[in-house]
Structure 1
Amino acid sequence: MNIPFLGLRHDKSGHDKSGHGETSPGEGGHGRSGDPVLPADPESIAALLSECELLRSQAAGAGVRLDDTPASLEALDQMVPRWRDDAEVLPWLGNDAGLYLGTVVVRTVPGAAWEIRPDGEPVVRLASGREVEVVGPGRDWAASGVPELSQLYAEVAED
């Protein structure tokens, strides 16, 4: 995957180590303050947030195909939660579950789009203006199975 803001390394002065000079906020990479700067391209953000490699791997191992549809959320809800015994995997899988839920919403609910809060938390902004947190509910789902991802999707899609 080609995400333009990944892979650039900068020294403390704001110059990238490849010799290409400073990056401006619109270019991706890091700004002068050293804080990461996300691209203005919503498609790049959506591509990055939709990777969910750990969740996709766990699902594939269970024979569940994640095709970014509401039906795949129902299939995830039916998976045997073998990850709950692994304290190291659980939070990462929960994060991925939330991002996957957001991915399905963004790809299937008209007007929905990813938004990154100033604190770095990805949320989904609906056409109505409502902001939907997905990472926390994804972690809850991974830890306990409640709320179900398909139910969360149904509630958001009704908005």
Structure 2
Amino acid sequence: MNIPFLGNRREKSVMTLDPEGIAGLLAECELLRSQASGDGVLLDDTAASLEALDQLVPRWRDDEEILPWLGNDAGLYLGTVIVRTVPGAAWRIRSDGQPVVWLASGREFDVVACGLEWAASGAPQLSQLYAEAAEA
């Protein structure tokens, strides 16, 4: 169903969010933060916290319902760390609604896809992905 005024209204509401507001929403990652906290890992938006996540025992892989949610959160958390620590990195929302990180080099980094892969298989590690983004 195509309702033009709803589409325009939605576009305007997304456009009016400031970068800090978007970053704050994307940084919540409640499920991942809860899982990490339960395992004694503090997510403090640093590269070291990504290394700690890589060391967690992946109990979530046995739960098909939680796996995609945790992977999504892992990707958003990876993006949060990159945006907060890599000069020139910023969140962007693609036209399909997918949040991605844009690096100063102009490269788009689909952190959610990376987080989903990490949650499902553990590879590539989040700390490795961070290092790749920091070098770009």
Matches of residues 5-44 of structure 1 in structure 2 within 5 Å?
A: 33=8, 35=10, 37-38=13-14, 39-44=16-21
- Identity across the alignment (%): 71
Residue aligned with 1:100, SS: helix
Residue 79 of structure 1 corresponds to which residue in structure 2?
56
1:60 aligns with 2:15: no
Residue 112 of structure 1 corresponds to which residue in structure 2?
89
> Where does structure 1 differ by over 2 angstroms across 4 or more consecutive aligned residues?
31-37
89 and 157 in structure 1: CA distance in 2 versus 1, 3 angstrom threshold: same
User: What 5-or-longer segments of structure 1 have no aligned partner?
Assistant: 1-11, 15-30
TM-score calculated relative to the size of structure 2 = 0.91
Residue 94 of structure 1 corresponds to which residue in structure 2?
71
Larger Rg: 1
1:139 aligns with 2:116: yes
> Please, what is the CA RMSD of the aligned residues?
1.7
Residue aligned with 2:76, SS: helix
**1:129 offset after TM fit, Å?**
1.2
Residue 153 of structure 1 corresponds to which residue in structure 2?
130
Q: 1:112, 1:150 → 2: CA distance?
A: 16
Q: 1:80, 1:156 → 2: CA distance?
A: 25
Residue 47 of structure 1 corresponds to which residue in structure 2?
24
**1:127 offset after TM fit, Å?**
1.1
**1:133 offset after TM fit, Å?**
0.8
Structure with bigger RCO (C-alpha 8 Å, 6+ apart): 2
114 and 13 in structure 1: CA distance in 2 versus 1, 3 angstrom threshold: closer
Residue aligned with 1:123, SS: strand
Q: 1:138, 1:13 → 2: CA distance?
A: 34
TM-score calculated relative to the size of structure 1 = 0.78
Q: Deviations over 1:19-67 (max 9, x none)?
A: xxxxxxxxxxxx5645353134100000000000000000000000000
Matched positions, count: 132
Residue 62 of structure 1 aligns with an amino acid whose one-letter code is: D
